[in-house]
């Protein structure tokens, strides 16, 4: 009986190797040969699934983003189960994009490498722009829901608030990427919490 190959698992195996290389050595050190060695596969295996370095990076970036969004979705599910304030979910969700621990620093290194490549690759630029739109859409929805339950003032603009919070998180992530000591991380998280509470100053009516 012929062996069934899980092609998605093979691509993920390569992407995880790319992420390790980017995290530990930087994008310039990522080659097909080094990726193959890090993944424990042949060069031909890597080339079978990814024709170029940018294709490897795009898949790795999309995998990193997907894992972050899955964690954010889990936060939303928990908030519904436990009836947590929306602002708490927004704070924790934005924190997922900040390089404040080893896993999130690794994800951030991939994101930075990817953004650097978008300058010369319109296809990568479109993927990055789509991620930004998706994040802002999620934030705008949270603000809209906050208006409905009373956490957010009725005259607030969800799209403007989403842009502010997204820009804050992106800027802090960039700063922490070069200075991620304990104090800087703590300060960044405190700033996120402060700005989110400014957008969500009220108490949800469902909590009485």
Among the candidates 51, 74, 92, a domain finishes at 51
38 is in which domain, residue-wise?
A: 1-51
Burial 104-132 (b: 16+ CB within 10 A, else e): bbbbbbbbbbbeebbeebeebeebbeebe
DSSP 207: G
Q: Are residues 114 and 184 in the same domain?
A: yes
Q: Are residues 156 and 195 in the same domain?
A: yes
| Residue 21, domain CATH | 1.10.10.60
Pull the structure tokens for residue 93.
Answer: 């969700």
Q: Are residues 32 and 126 in the same domain?
A: no
Number of domains in the chain: 2
Q: Are residues 122 and 188 in the same domain?
A: yes
List pLDDT tens digits, range 125-143.
999 999 999 999 999 999 9
Q: Are residues 79 and 117 in the same domain?
A: yes
Q: Are residues 88 and 60 in the same domain?
A: yes
Q: Are residues 34 and 69 in the same domain?
A: no
Continuous segment of H or E residues that includes residue 151: none
List pLDDT tens digits, range 85-125.
999 999 999 999 999 999 999 999 999 999 999 999 999 99
Q: Are residues 29 and 42 in the same domain?
A: yes
Q: Are residues 192 and 140 in the same domain?
A: yes
| pLDDT value for 117 | 94
């Amino acid at each position: 009986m012929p062996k069934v190959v899980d092609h998605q698992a093979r691509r993920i195996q390569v992407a995880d190797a790319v992420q390790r290389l980017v995290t530990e050595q930087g994008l310039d050190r990522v080659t097909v040969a080094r990726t193959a060695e890090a993944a424990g596969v042949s060069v031909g295996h890597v080339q079978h699934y990814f024709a170029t370095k940018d294709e490897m990076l795009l898949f790795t970036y999309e995998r990193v983003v997907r894992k972050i969004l899955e964690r954010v979705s889990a936060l939303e599910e928990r908030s519904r189960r436990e009836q947590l304030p929306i602002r708490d979910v927004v704070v924790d969700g934005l924190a997922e994009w900040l390089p404040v621990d080893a896993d999130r620093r690794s994800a951030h290194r991939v994101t930075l490498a990817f953004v650097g490549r978008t300058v010369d690759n319109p296809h990568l630029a479109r993927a990055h722009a789509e991620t930004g739109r998706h994040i802002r859409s999620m934030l705008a929805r949270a603000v809209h829901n906050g208006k409905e339950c009373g956490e957010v003032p009725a005259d607030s603009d969800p799209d403007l608030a989403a842009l502010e919070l997204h820009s804050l998180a992106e800027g802090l992530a960039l700063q922490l990427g070069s200075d991620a000591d304990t104090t800087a991380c703590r300060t960044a998280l405190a700033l996120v919490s402060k700005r989110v509470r400014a957008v969500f100053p009220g108490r949800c009516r469902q909590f009485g």
